[in-house]
Amino acid sequence: MVIDPAESDDTPTSSRRSPESEESDIDSDARETPVADVLEGEPVDPLEEARADAQRFKDQWMRTAADFDNFRKRARREVDDARKGGREDLLRELLPVFDNLERALTSAQRAGDIKGVAEGLGMVMKQFESTLGRVNIQKVPSVGHPFDPAMHEAIQQVETDEHPAGQVVAEVQPGYMQGEKLVRAAMVVVAKPKAPATDGGQKVDPEPSSRG
């Protein structure tokens, strides 16, 4: 009886591997090998690494600088728009005052009654002060109040016994405040005590003592 060599092989058929399967396993092992393992051991140039970090930091800085510049321009534009809007609102409030002042001046040129002209101008002045009050602007208190260097500018002092020293006795130019902020100081005249009377350059004793 002739024995087939293939049948005499004791290795199971299922455990036998073809050359094609062995080649596939080799390719699979190559694909599963990490790239880091392949590159492991290769030296890294510290200069190149430092240059890459420097370029990255430069790019970040340039983006930050550009963002800040855009923010600054936008903030400046918003401030300018707010100021322009504030001026327009104030002008809108003052226009009626200017209209009445122009009418008063036109009437004054044709009127012969000075008293009537003065009354008309006084009404315009009250309207002006009322308009300023609506936009939170008030006149600085002056006459009859103590001198305050934070709100007043003294341009003259007068000797008087009718007012206490340091009191404002006259206003040359009014001052204005917007809320708590001083817009313009008031120019005022301030009282000071009279100098003692003299007789021939000598100070006079108001109550001479009696001598025996």
| Order of strands across the sheet that contains 181-184 | 137-139, 176-178, 181-184
Domains of the chain: which residue ranges?
Answer: 47-135, 138-196
The pLDDT tens digits for 182-208 are 999 999 999 998 877 665 555 555 444
* 3-state percent helix, strand, coil for the chain, nearest multiple of 5: 55, 15, 30
Whole-prediction pTM value? 0.52
Distance CA 62, CA 65 (A): 5
Condensed to tens digits (0 to 9), the pLDDT of residues 87-102 reads 888 888 888 888 888 8
CATH topology of domain 47-135: Hemagglutinin Ectodomain; Chain B (3.90.20)
Q: CATH assignment of 138-196?
A: 2.30.22.10
Contact (CB, 8 A) for 190 and 166: yes
